[in-house]
Structure 1
């Protein structure tokens, strides 16, 4: 279990050039493709752009091999210090299933297939696998389907949670189901907002998280959604939350509630 004070928080950024003022950054491959100027951040996780690809086109426009080739170029040319690259997963929210015309099980199978294919490319940095589903039991099924592909202590992304930030108890149920099955895993929450991070159950079960919520909030309120000052203010809010006294969260109790 983690706490917000030691949670590895990766600030989502639209503009790679802004990464130099952040300790950690989470940047989409769609923002890095073809880039030659170095990204001045020592700890960068590269996202596969899954949400945009499926939401706009209902498919990936780039094959696993094309994704791997671009990742390899970025690494070899010293453009990005790649801590990990996220596999090309398939989200399982109902609106995403409507985009592809496939089922949750199809999306889970495709997620593992693309993870396997990316691993086979032999990239010189870690690949972040992603657990997908919608109901907590979906994630357990997907976890079991991965089998020994996920070694002890693996760093694993948890997908299809970003649209549940207003209902953090739903995120808790998903995380709890996963950790009840594999308490050794280090879970990463994609697109987790302050609302969810303030929930002690979410915080206690995440090893790391990323968020671009600052950009959405800025645009919604009529400000610049690409302003790095907005991003820095968001990161400061995340850090400030760590200083707040919170009643300790008991994971066994969460497990009991999720199983009920």
Structure 2
């Protein structure tokens, strides 16, 4: 399993060879872009877009323009997520959850899935040379099976794709339902990427994933004193803390499940 460290600090790509996961918007707003030292992948920022606006405010053409600029100036990325539509209840129905306000799309899970597949096809048509990956979305196991079928009917053989994102599972990852979804999707022979996976989820189903990412280090750092000799209030934006957290998470996994050395 390849484990990406999720960060909002774009300049980290020039500071570490540890695989990083960054939102495209963090690059899109920059005048100058850092050159990547190691591997990285690009998130479309869909959760934030749908949370704030209930829709995508960037067109596929604009997103492809951002990705091409990132590829040219930062360096080739492993892959980029499409402008997919998450299926969490808060994203669909809206409201205030955990102090965060969600506008709500007020669409069905099925419509979110249809739009996710359609956007992937649009992006692949606009930029066939860019490594944009398909993403599965859903709420229940039956939903995810239906999403697999939608790709199949669109002529996309997911088993042949080098990476298939598994969306909307981060809040279910440590539950039986979440484990059942990951297990069923892996049984299709898919090389899955788990978005936003935390320690419990990795312990339970990490062996079924080809890769995963997590920003949980920042949450942990905000609730702890800073590292010794660090002048800031906490280490929520601190690369040394993030790297130590990542090492602890990976060291805690069973040895047969840990990433290869070149992914460290």
TM-score range, shorter chain: 0.7 to 0.9
Q: CA deviation at 1:203?
A: 1.5
Runs of 4+ in 1 over 4 A off after TM superposition: 243-246
**Which residue of the partner structure matches residue 157 of structure 2?**
150
Tell me if structure 1 keeps the 8 A contact 2:16–2:37.
Answer: yes
1:52 pairs, out of 48, 51, 70, with: 48
CA distance in 2, matches of 1:226, 1:49: 19
CA contact (8 A) 1:41 1:81 kept: no
Name the residue aligned to 1:230: 241
Alignment of 1:82-231 (within 5 A): 82-98=77-93, 99-147=104-152, 148-154=155-161, 155-165=163-173, 167-180=174-187, 182=188, 184-199=189-204, 202-221=205-224, 223-231=234-242
TM-score, scaled relative to structure 1 = 0.84
Taking the aligned partners of 2:114 and 2:83, their CA distance within structure 1 comes to: 12
Instruction: For residue 245 of structure 1, report the CA deviation from its aligned partner.
Output: 7.9
**CA separation of 1:221 and 1:57: change in aligned 2, threshold 3 A:** farther
Distance 2:88 2:158 in 1: 27
Q: What is the alpha-carbon distance in structure 1 between the residues aligned to residue 164 and residue 66 of structure 2? A: 22
- Deviations for 1:168-200, whole angstroms, at most 9, x for unmatched residues? 4232111122233x1x2100000000121122x
CA 1:122–1:173: 2 relative to 1, 3 Å: same
Please give the alpha-carbon distance, in whole angstroms, between the structure 2 residues aligned to 1:235 and 1:115: 31
Distance in 1 separating the partners of 2:74 and 2:134:
23
What are the Cα deviations for residues 12-62 of structure 1, in whole angstroms up to 9, with x where unaligned? 011011233142110001111143222423311100001111112211111
Structure 2 portions without partners, runs of 5+ = 94-103, 226-233, 258-264
CA RMSD, Structure 1 to Structure 2 (Å) = 1.8
Q: Distance in 2 between matches of 1:150 and 1:41?
A: 32
Q: By how many angstroms is 1:142 displaced? A: 0.3
Count the aligned residue pairs.
Answer: 234
Higher helix content, 1 or 2: 1
Matched, 1:9 2:3: yes
**Which SS does the other structure have where 1:170 is aligned?**
helix
**Correspondence 1:65-84 to 2 at 5 A:** 65-76=61-72, 78-84=73-79
Verify the 8 A CA contact 2:159 2:191 in the aligned structure 1. Answer: no
Structure number with greater CO (CA < 8 Å, separation at least 6) is 1
Question: What's the CA shift string for 1:67-96, capped at 9, x where partnerless?
Answer: 0011112222x2233111100111111111
